[in-house]
Amino acid sequence: MKNVLAIYPGSFDPVTNGHLDLIERGAKIFDRLVVSILRNFDKEPLFTIDERVEMLREVTRPWANVEIDVFSGLLVDYARLREANVILRGIRAVSDYEYELQMAMMNRKLNKEVETVFMMPAVSYSFLSSRLVREIAHLGGPITGLVPTVVEERLRAKIL
């Protein structure tokens, strides 16, 4: 395959070291990787879209082929718009598989041109999620090592 553009979609509220691990792996094998934040009007996020974009831009600065973007609506429509070949998703454990398989199959039904590729983060991040990070931060627990330093600082500023 030539010039593969992959989209890594998600909420990234906030970006964790697990996401970053996947971004690093994705940036190595795809020509371009677009990390795309879903603008979800249903959810009440901790960080605004702008804050999430800023944090992602900062932590992905080392990779020249990584771009940060925002999307709303159907992921497959956005993929078509961006002329993406791949949707990248992370699978941490078997528990992720069922939901991810369902989404991948539905996305394939909606758009046959785009292929979902799963990658596994380092095993040390297999228990990590944005939801748990938010909860630990809210309850005053330690989040060092779970998120990049800039996110840790922003979490403390937001929650304290």
**Residue 90 binds ligand PNS, judged by CB under 6 A:** no
Catalytic choice (32, 89, 92, 134)? 92
Number of alpha carbons in the 13 Å side-chain half-sphere of residue 156? 10
H/E stretch holding 117 reads strand 115-119
Give residues 68-87 in contact with ligand PNS (rule: CB under 6 A): 74-75
Give how many residues touch ligand PNS by CB under 6 A.
Answer: 9
Strand partners, 68: 35
Decide if 80 is catalytic.
Answer: no
Quick one: which of 2, 151, 1, 6 has its CA closest to 65?
A: 6
Catalytic choice (43, 57, 131, 156)? 43
Quick one: which of 155, 157, 93, 83 has its CA closest to 120?
A: 93
> Kindly report the CA angle at 15 between 10 and 19, in degrees rounded to 5?
70
User: What is the smallest separation between the CB atom of 10 and ligand PNS, expressed in angstroms?
Assistant: 3
Q: Which is nearer to ligand PNS, 3 or 95 (CB)?
A: 95
Give residues 2-61 in contact with ligand PNS (rule: CB under 6 A): 9-11, 38
Site residues, ligand PNS (CB under 6 A): 9-11, 38, 74-75, 103, 106-107
